[in-house]
Amino acid sequence: MSSPPGDHICPRGGTGLADPALYDVGDPHAVWRALRRRDPVGWHPVDDRSGFWAVTRYADVRAVLTDHAGFTSTGGVMLSMIGRPEPARDQQFAASDPPRHGLIRGPLQRQMTGRAVARHAPAIRSFVREMLRPAGGDLDFAELTSTLPLAFLKPLMGIRAADWPDLARWVSMSVAEHDRDVMLPDGPSATLDRGHRELFAYLLNLLFEHRRQPRGDLVDLLGAMPLRPGAVVANCYSVLLGGAAAIPHVPRVALAELIRLGRYEEWARHPQRIDRVVEEALRFATPAGHFMRLATRDTSVGGVPVAAGEPVVVWLGSANRDEAVFADADTLHPDRHPNRHLAFGDGRHYCLGSAMARMTLRIFFEELFATFSSFEPTGEPERVRSAWLHGIKRMPVVGRRR
Could you tell me the pLDDT band of residue 9, with boundaries at 50, 70 and 90? very low
Contact 264, 374 (CB under 8 A): yes
Strand, helix or coil for residue 311: strand
Which amino acid is it at 100?
R
Q: Yes or no: say if 104 and 96 are a contact pair by the CB < 8 Å rule.
A: yes
Residue 4 lies in a domain: no
Q: What is the mean pLDDT of the chain?
A: 95
Tell whether 46 is covered by a domain: yes
Q: Report the pLDDT value the prediction gives residue 83, as an integer from 0 to 100.
A: 86
Q: Specify the CATH number for the domain of residue 106.
A: 1.10.630.10
Query: How many structural domains is the chain composed of?
Result: 1
Can the peptide bond before residue 4 be classed as cis, meaning omega within 30 degrees of 0? no
Closest CA to 284 of 330, 247, 315: 330
Tell me which H or E stretch contains 262.
none
Above 80 in pLDDT, residue 393? yes
State yes or no: pLDDT of 15 exceeds 70: no
pLDDT category of residue 138 using cuts at 50, 70 and 90: very high
Give me the pLDDT at residue 7, please: 34
Tell me: pLDDT of 387 over 70: yes
Is 3 inside any structural domain?
A: no
Provide the total of helices (H) and of strands (E) in the chain, helices listed first: 16, 12
**Over the stretch 54-69, which tens digit does the pLDDT of each residue have?**
999 999 999 999 999 9
**What letter does residue 173 receive in the DSSP assignment?**
H
**387, 401 Cβ separation under 8 angstroms:** no
Residue 1 lies in a domain: no
| pLDDT above 50 for 172 | yes
CA distance 159 to 296: 38
Do the beta carbons of residue 328 and residue 334 sit within 8 Å? no
Digit-coded pLDDT (tens) for 305-319: 999 999 999 999 999
In a domain, 5, yes or no: no
Q: Identify the H or E element spanning 304.
A: strand 304-306
Asked if pLDDT for residue 10 goes beyond 50, the answer is no
Confidence tier at 271 by pLDDT (50, 70, 90): confident
Confidence of residue 1 (pLDDT cuts 50, 70, 90): very low
Q: Looking at the domain assignment, is residue 229 inside a domain? A: yes
pLDDT band of 164, cuts 50, 70, 90: very high
Domain membership of residue 59 (yes or no) is: yes
pLDDT > 90 fraction of the chain, expressed in percent and rounded:
93
Where residue 14 falls among pLDDT bands split at 50, 70, 90? very low
Is the pLDDT score of 13 beyond 50?
Answer: no
- List the domain range (segments joined by +) for residue 201: 16-401
Q: What is the pLDDT of residue 3?
A: 32
Residue 340 maps to a domain: yes
Separation CA 358–CA 275 (nearest Å): 8
Per cent of the chain over pLDDT 70 is 96
Per-residue pLDDT band for 48 (boundaries 50, 70, 90) equals confident
- Structural contact between residues 280 and 339, judged by C-beta atoms closer than 8 angstroms: yes
